[in-house]
Amino acid sequence: MKATWDIFCTVVDNFGDIGVTWRLARQLAAEHDYAVRLWVDDLRAFEHLCPAIDAELDRQRQRGVEVRRWSTPWAPVEAADVVIAAFACALPHDYMESMAGRDKEPLWLNLDYLSAEDWIVGCHGLPSVKFRQVQKFFFFPGFQPGTGGLLREAGLLEQRRAFVQDPRARGDFLRGLGVDPTDGARLISLFAYENDGLASWLDALASDTRPTQLLVPEGRILVDVQRWLGTKDMAAGAREVRGSLTVQVLPFVPQEDYDRLLWSCDFNAVRGEDSFVRAQWAGRPLLWHIYRQEDDVHLDKLEAFLELYSQGLSAPAKAAFEGWWRAWNRAGDMAPSWKAVLENERELAEHAERWSLEQASRTDLATALVKLYLNWI
Ligand code: TRH
C-alpha cells in the first residue's frame, strides 16, 4: 500500500502559502504516486492559481490531488502516514488526536519558510513540539547542502531549455497573453509588493535608448505603476507607452504559464517565496522583493541570500546586483544600480544560468521529503 500524505495550508495572505503547497502536493502525486490530500482554508485564493478549482466544493480532485476544504468545525478523518503542516499552521485538535490514535504514528513535519541563512542547516530535521507521543520535526527548504532543498519538478530545466530554444513557442505564448514582442526590446516581468522605489526605475527605463516592455501581472504593484503613469483602473490587457517604456498589464495566469512568462523575459522582478524560486529556475537575472517582516528581520534573509548568490561574480557585477536588490527592498533610488546592472548584464545573465544549474544538481524538496519518509519507516 502506498503511503498517504496530508498537507495543511492556511492562506495567511497573498499566494505563497497555497502556491508552495499546491506545487508540492502535485509533485508528490505525479512523480511519487502517493495519495495526497491538500487541506486549504481559502479556496478562493487557490482559484487564482488553479482556475479549475470549484470554491464551493468541500472535496474535489485536481491534477491527481484530493483537494479538501479545511472547514471549521472540523469533520473527523483518519490521519495520513505523513502529515505536513505548512508554515507552522496549527492543525485541528481532532486531527492531532487521530494522529495519536494510529497504530503507527505518522511522520509529522513543519514545512518552514525558505531562507538562505546559515542556521537553517543546523535546524533542518530537528524535533519540534510533541502532541502526546507524536513528535513533530522541522523541515527547512534551502539552497545549501544539508537543507530540504527547493521545489523543482522533474524535467523542469529541460522544459525551459526546449522553450527558450524555440522562438516560435515563445512568440506564440506571449501573443496568447496579448503581448506583441517588439524586436530588440528588453522584456521585464514585474511581480512585487507596493514599492516607492518603482518610480525611479520606471523613469530610468523610459529615458533609456533601448526600448523596454514591462509586463505586470494584475496585483499589488499596479497601484504604484498607475501612480507613475498617471492612470487609473488599469486591468489585464491595458497598455501605456512613456518614452522608451511600454507598460502592459497581464492577467494573473496559472502557475505553468507564469513559468513560461519568466522564461520569456530578460529580467524578472519577483516576490515572496515561490515566484522567487521559479525565477531562479528561469535562469535569468532576477530582482527579489522580499516579504516584509517585523523589526526588518527580512533584511537579514535578503543579505544571507545575496551572500550565497553573489559568489563567483566579479566585483563590479556583484556591487551592481546587490545595490539593485538593496535599493528595491529599501524603496531607494533605483537609477544608479539599474545602470550598473545593465553594464554587467551579460555576466549577470550567465551567472543566473549557472546558479540555476547548480541548484538543480541538488535533491529537490519533494524527493527530500520522500527520502525522509522512507528512512522513517
Ligand atoms: O504571493 P506572495 O507574496 O506570497 C507570500 C510569500 O510566500 C511569503 O513568504 C509569505 O509569507 C506570504 O505570501 C504569506 O509571493 P509568492 O510566494 O511568489 O507566491 C505567488 C504565487 O503566485 C506563486 O506560486 C506564483 C504564482 N503566480 C501565478 O501562478 N501566476 C501569476 O500570474 C503570478 C504573478 C504568480
Answer yes or no: 166 catalytic.
Answer: no
Cβ–Cβ under 8 Å, residues 2 and 35: yes
Find the catalytic residue in 17, 41, 112, 259: 17
| Angle subtended at Cα 10 by Cα 9 and Cα 12, rounded to the nearest 5 degrees | 135
Q: What is d(CA 160, CA 168) in angstroms, rounded to the nearest whole number?
A: 14
Distance (angstroms) between ligand 1 centre and the Cα of 74 equals: 27
Which residue ranges form the domains of the chain, and what is each CATH number? 4-150+363-376 (3.40.50), 156-360 (3.40.50.2000)
* Per-residue model confidence (pLDDT) at position 77: 96
Distance (angstroms) between ligand 1 centre and the Cα of 18 equals: 8
Cβ–Cβ under 8 Å, residues 84 and 107: no
Look up residue 14 and give its amino acid: N
Task: Give the model confidence (pLDDT) of 234-254 as tens digits.
Answer: 999 999 999 999 999 999 999
- For residue 20, the ligand 1 atom closest to its alpha carbon is 24
The beta-strand segments (E) located in the chain are 4-9, 35-40, 59-62, 65-69, 82-86, 107-111, 127-131, 134-139, 186-190, 212-217, 239-242, 245-250, 267-271, 286-289
* Per-residue model confidence (pLDDT) at position 1: 75
Going by CA atoms, what residue is nearest to atom 4 of ligand 1? 16
Distance (angstroms) between ligand 1 centre and the Cα of 113 equals: 13
Task: Please report, for residues 89, 104, 179, 280, 346, the alpha-carbon distance to residue 259 in angstroms, rounded to integers and kept in the order given.
Answer: 27, 40, 16, 10, 22
Task: Give the model confidence (pLDDT) of 313-355 as tens digits.
Answer: 999 999 999 999 999 999 999 999 999 999 999 999 999 999 9
- For residue 22, the ligand 1 atom closest to its alpha carbon is 24
Q: Which residues of the chain have pLDDT under 50?
A: none
- Measured in Å, how far apart are the chain's first and last C-alpha atoms? 13
Look at residue 107 and give its three-state secondary structure.
strand
Cβ–Cβ under 8 Å, residues 188 and 265: yes
Q: What is d(CA 155, CA 261) in angstroms, rounded to the nearest whole number?
A: 18
- For residue 193, the ligand 1 atom closest to its alpha carbon is 3
Going by CA atoms, what residue is nearest to atom 18 of ligand 1? 275
Distance (angstroms) between ligand 1 centre and the Cα of 315 equals: 32
10 Å CB burial of residue 100 (0-12, 13-18, 19+) is middle
- Residue by residue, DSSP assigns 181-219 as PPTT-EEEEE--S--TTHHHHHHHHHT-SS-EEEEEESS
**Ligand 1 — pocket residues by CB below 6 A?**
12-17, 19, 49, 113, 191, 217, 252-255, 258, 271-276, 291
| Mean pLDDT estimate for the chain | 97
Find the catalytic residue in 6, 105, 259, 273: 273
Answer yes or no: 103 catalytic.
Answer: no
Look at residue 310 and give its three-state secondary structure.
coil
* Per-residue model confidence (pLDDT) at position 183: 86
* Per-residue model confidence (pLDDT) at position 41: 95
